[in-house]
Amino acid sequence: MVITVALFRNSNGVRRNITCMRTYLAPLGFDSRRVVRPVLSEGLDESDRVVLLQPANSSDQSEDAFEEVVDVLTQVVPDLELDSEQLPYTDFVETTLLCADLMQAAEGETIVVLGGGAREILLPLTVATFSNENHINTILQVGDIDSSVRRIPQLNLRGNISNAEATLLADLTALDTPLSISEIATELEKSKSTVARHVDSLESEGFVQTAKEGRTKTVEQTDSGRVFLSGGEFNNHIHRG
């Protein structure tokens, strides 16, 4: 069920067509501050949309929290489009898929807030977020310890690379990167063309990043690359190879 707060009419009663520039997806529990603080930290405009994710059959406390978010955010942007998506909480897979659908259907820049709410919603939302990194622009985390709002990196946890590419990614760990393609090729005793081809593939997966320094392209690992190597995926590639 979707509850739409904004009426999309100006002061003269004329209906307006609004194109969403940013879509916020945020789980909401009993504490409205865990939605309000991260949303306001990124900024809010009348063309934005805020979607609050709540368990189906929410309690009175959840409804009160929703009204608090509405009150605060519409004081900042009176015509804000603010919706509540009621999600099933007993089926982890179904909830994950519904979260993914919301991300893929979002308009404009998509910002996911991993801040609070019921774990039955937060965990599927987290899985969907890191499984749909191509649909996400920003991920915000609200800390339990200090309540600070932080941007966290978008990690590719799947990895669609060959055995040779996974080996090169691991080899980069031992090198003092960033290094140029030529320097990597020399260090690893491989051809420049082979290294360049593997780097292109690794960069498309988000496991390395490159930068131009004059006429030279330098390469270094990303957070996704380091996380990929820290898990079992690298060994799986080696065994498959």
Contact predicate 228/157, CB 8 Å = yes
pLDDT in tens, 155-197: 877 778 888 999 999 999 889 889 999 999 999 999 999 999 9
* 222 in Cβ contact with 207 (< 8 Å): yes
* Distance in Å from the first CA to the final CA of the chain: 48
Which pLDDT does position 11 carry in this prediction?
Answer: 39
Q: Which two tokens stand for residue 138?
A: 């920003």
Total residue count of the chain as it appears in this document: 241
Tens of pLDDT, residue by residue over 205-224, are 999 999 998 889 999 999 88
Question: Which backbone phi and psi does 206 adopt, to 5 degrees?
Answer: 80, 15
Tell me the pLDDT tens digit for each residue of 121-156: 999 999 899 888 889 999 999 998 888 999 998 887
What pLDDT was estimated at residue 209? 95
pLDDT average, residue stretch 62-68: 92
**What pLDDT is attached to residue 188?**
96
Q: Is the whole model's pTM more than 0.75, yes or no?
A: no
pLDDT at 7 (0 to 100): 36
| Higher-scoring residue by pLDDT: 15, 160 | 160
The span from the CA of 95 to the CA of 91, in Å, is: 6
Separation CA 209–CA 7 (nearest Å)? 44
